[in-house]
Structure 1
């Protein structure tokens, strides 16, 4: 955490303290506060180079912002737009980057339809160009992709079949909001019905690693805040004439959770390649779920009511644990990597 990143953290946290209203954002037509998103873009939280209209922030700076959004469970399209912008940059298509990245940096929402879930798939007619070129060509897109972050409200929709990256023609796409257990995460099902696809360049598996590392940063921020709220509550909840936080059994449980959060933070910060990103996904998912579950337990019956946010942290923990593949999926990947 450099001084610049600490300053960014404080700026984002201050903005969220003043303007973030999770319950109002959940009920908004786009599933997020559009004014807050515009302010976040003005701060420069997206990892877009200056030559394409961005602030020059890199992924570490975006991870700082994602951690703060995780702390407050703020619905915002930062994760979705980050993945789309990184897929564009990885494609190597300078024309597409010059055309689309300034729009993303300016606050337009971009989504990436990436069939990571079992049963999803995209088929595209072979593009009429040599594999070494990035020249655009047209072809039909068909298939269905679930759990697309902010996919129903995105103004820019990118699609991959696992080999190439395409820009979808809205005329050939139907999109629907997917109701989920976690109301603070906007997910959609994207159905591709044979519309034109503009070839942008090759798909990079590095985008998956970026997604896992970015998600782990958000999970750590949420887990840390869940623990903070739990500690605060146990200092004020009185039972048998004493604050429950003074009971040794609860002290030990909260100390264990603190260690869990800090080791998850280390795993997230170390996520820089295929192996470490998969490790971060597995460890941070399990750590966040453990902290959120203990939060519910230590808050007692109030934690499962709509009036309290504890149940929202538990739902976010469950949902983010499955996003981009469950811990079991990535444990399997790690086993294959180490055997190979």
Structure 2
């Protein structure tokens, strides 16, 4: 039977990451930081990715990584979700790294594992594992197909992985035009990316598609852990606030209606933890059921994260509606994550196909 409990190693890793983020990425200071338009803190990323070695958790030791696995990476993402930390961990250390692992791109993997460079897939953040399509230019020629919209963390990327009909290419940031766009989630900036026909070819057409799908599947599975961490923070912060906030000489958290809402949310978070941990474990063990477990985790955890963030805003009352309180950043991250790497509807359709049942569209 699969053990989804946290190991001692995972608990130690959690404590280290949480301590780092508490010292250098406090959510209370995040609203002021995002207002500058530069949410990423290079010093925090250096400490997390290079000094702590978190960027190399999925990379084998022979390539300079930590030789850990998806369960450990999931713990890091839980903590990043708890603090809605603006860091390219999901896009670079998970999605891009998994894509490169499928191709055994040793030199670039070593750079990513050491935190010397960051890489992102030049694909919209909304694209899911089952919707991978190479880009084509005029007349179907191999090309970047003009600008690609909605690319997450492009503003801090050193390398772009561009999927073209004839293969997958690594293109340096100097050869790419990156135009920032206004995004709902201020902590995960989006940009429009225009890449020319240059770059180094990493794989041919036959290998590129499966490699990209592997990266997106890992990203979707571990995104559930980020959503879990976000939901946990929202619940804990809401409980803390309602204990301290008094009305009629009583803590508002003692009112029955609010207790019921928080109890229901606690149950949802517990279920989300099981789903997220199952997805991370399935990816870590290379289970053939990984696509199914990932679809379940994403379809469920995305909804729980949004619900937790909505309750956090509402139960904080007036303070929850202000810019100074970080609750709005959690809600925006949760809503953006809900459509990242495939919407819940897409994952439910994929799940229906995997278990040979009529999907939502067919049921209608």
Question: Shorter-normalised TM-score: what interval?
Answer: 0.7 to 0.9
Partner of 1:85: 97
Establish whether residue 306 from structure 1 lines up as the match of residue 309 from structure 2: no
Deviation at 1:121? 6.0
Establish whether residue 158 from structure 1 lines up as the match of residue 161 from structure 2: yes
CA contact (8 A) 1:182 1:316 kept: yes
2:201 to 195, 199, 202: 199
CA contact (8 A) 1:148 1:190 kept: yes
Q: TM-score, with normalisation over the residues of structure 1? A: 0.88
Partner of 2:87: 76
CA contact (8 A) 2:158 2:172 kept: no
Between 277-286 and 328-337, the greater mean CA deviation after superposition:
328-337
Partner of 2:47: 39
Distance 1:162 1:77, change over 3 A: farther
Partner of 1:13: 18
CA contact (8 A) 1:151 1:190 kept: yes
Establish whether residue 144 from structure 1 lines up as the match of residue 147 from structure 2: yes
Deviation at 1:160? 2.1
Deviation at 1:303? 0.7
CA contact (8 A) 1:303 1:311 kept: yes
**SS of aligned partner of 1:317:** helix
Partner of 2:242: 234
Partner of 1:251: 259
How far, CA to CA, are the matches of 1:76 and 1:262 in structure 2?
A: 26
- Counting strand residues as a fraction of each chain, which structure ranks higher? 1
2:333 to 316, 323, 340: 316
Distance 1:177 1:6, change over 3 A: same
- Higher RCO (Cα < 8 Å, 6 or more apart): 2
Establish whether residue 285 from structure 1 lines up as the match of residue 302 from structure 2: yes
1:113 to 119, 122, 126: 122
CA contact (8 A) 2:78 2:230 kept: yes
CA contact (8 A) 2:144 2:194 kept: no
Q: Deviations over 1:7-41 (max 9, x none)?
A: 00000001111111424553567531111111112
CA contact (8 A) 1:264 1:283 kept: yes
**SS of aligned partner of 1:152:** helix
Distance 1:183 1:230, change over 3 A: same
Deviation at 1:337? 2.6
How far, CA to CA, are the matches of 1:275 and 1:143 in structure 2?
A: 34
Count of aligned positions: 322
Partner of 1:66: 77
**SS of aligned partner of 1:191:** strand
Deviation at 1:148? 1.7
**SS of aligned partner of 2:192:** strand
Runs of 5+ consecutive residues of structure 1 not aligned to the other structure: 126-138
How far, CA to CA, are the matches of 1:2 and 1:220 in structure 2?
A: 18
Between 62-71 and 172-181, the greater mean CA deviation after superposition:
172-181
Root-mean-square deviation (CA, aligned residues, Å) is 2.3
How far, CA to CA, are the matches of 1:229 and 1:86 in structure 2?
A: 34
CA contact (8 A) 1:152 1:190 kept: no
Runs of 5+ consecutive residues of structure 2 not aligned to the other structure: 1-5, 283-289, 358-364
Establish whether residue 210 from structure 1 lines up as the match of residue 218 from structure 2: yes
Q: Deviations over 1:215-251 (max 9, x none)?
A: 1110000100100000000001111221111111111
1:188 to 191, 205, 209: 191
Q: TM-score, with normalisation over the residues of structure 2? A: 0.82
How far, CA to CA, are the matches of 2:158 and 2:39 in structure 1?
A: 14
How far, CA to CA, are the matches of 1:224 and 1:256 in structure 2?
A: 13
Deviation at 1:169? 4.9
Q: Deviations over 1:50-76 (max 9, x none)?
A: 222222232211110110011011111
